[in-house]
Amino acid sequence: MSNGRLFRSAAALLVALGMSFPGSAVVDAPLPASLRDTGLFEEGSIERIRAANVSFTPGFPLWTDGQSKRRWIYLPPGTSIDKSDPDRWEFPRGTRLWKEFSAGGRVETRFIERLADGSWRFSTYLWNAEGTEATLAPAGGVPSRGIPSRRDCLACHEGAPVPVLGYSDVQLRGAIAGHTASERAAMGYLHGNCGHCHNASALGATGLFLAQSAASPERSAEATRQSVSEHAPEILRRLRSANPYVRMPPLGVTVTDAYGLEGVEHWIHNQLQPSLEKLP
């Protein structure tokens, strides 16, 4: 092996381990113009997923107008996720995640990647009407198609302790300390749809603590009970609203999630706060 190839191989290994090569500066490539070049598909295909990309499904998915979704994660060879803090998984440099949205055909695929310096970048690829190509959306998004800007992505992903929202201990194991199955389902719904912002490290000043903790499940569940008991009318008003300035979650939603709302209402009115007047 030549000295140049040896240098590049050593540098690549150190980057994967979250380190840097002495005297070098690693520069990440710009975002590919096509989804084909992000590493999701096998060479020459827009259907066959690479074997290294592992499919997963979170237990408490974010509602986005009923669109179906598929998700994959890639970890560089020889790396793993540091799970020593169950609420703050540390993903290796080079981690990639994709989420595909479909509504009668593929609409968009969102892409998250951890760079060599430890930062994360977010992008969206739009599928053409034929479903034969997905190209990089503008940084400002495509409002007419409901495609978020990269700033919109950060509004949700940077509110959580880790910017990867759907691949976590709580999401994959579903371990929520609810007293009943319906309470666990309602807490999980609020965790997946609201907890990335309404938690102690982001919007804690609002008094809403809707994120569940894998490290302290009983404590986080009790904090959610107290928060929802105190703010139940406002929470239900926002979950029901079609007004974009009122509804929650504020992004990616134009249609109320009737099933999810019913579960939260049932928990509040029948278990958490039976004396609360049922709002119209």
Q: What does the pLDDT read at residue 121? A: 93
The more confidently predicted of residues 2 and 42 is 42
Lookup: tokens for 109: 């695929």
Amino acid letter for position 113: E
Q: What does the pLDDT read at residue 10? A: 38
CB 35, CB 108: distance < 8 Å: no
**What are the residues whose beta carbons fall under 8 Å from the beta carbon of 17, sequence distance 6 or more?**
79, 92, 93
Assign 15 to helix, strand or coil.
helix
Residue that is last in its domain, among 100, 132, 148: 148
CA distances to 2, 95, 97, 248 from 14, rounded to whole Å, are 18, 14, 21, 42
Instruction: State which residues form the domain around 197.
Output: 175-272
pLDDT at position 225 over 70: yes
- 29/144 same-domain check: yes
Q: What is the pLDDT of residues 60-82, one digit of tens each?
A: 999 999 999 999 999 999 999 99
- 133/211 same-domain check: no
Quick check: is 14 in a domain? no
- 122/179 same-domain check: no
Q: What is the pLDDT of residues 85-134, one digit of tens each?
A: 999 999 999 999 999 999 999 999 999 999 999 999 999 999 999 999 99
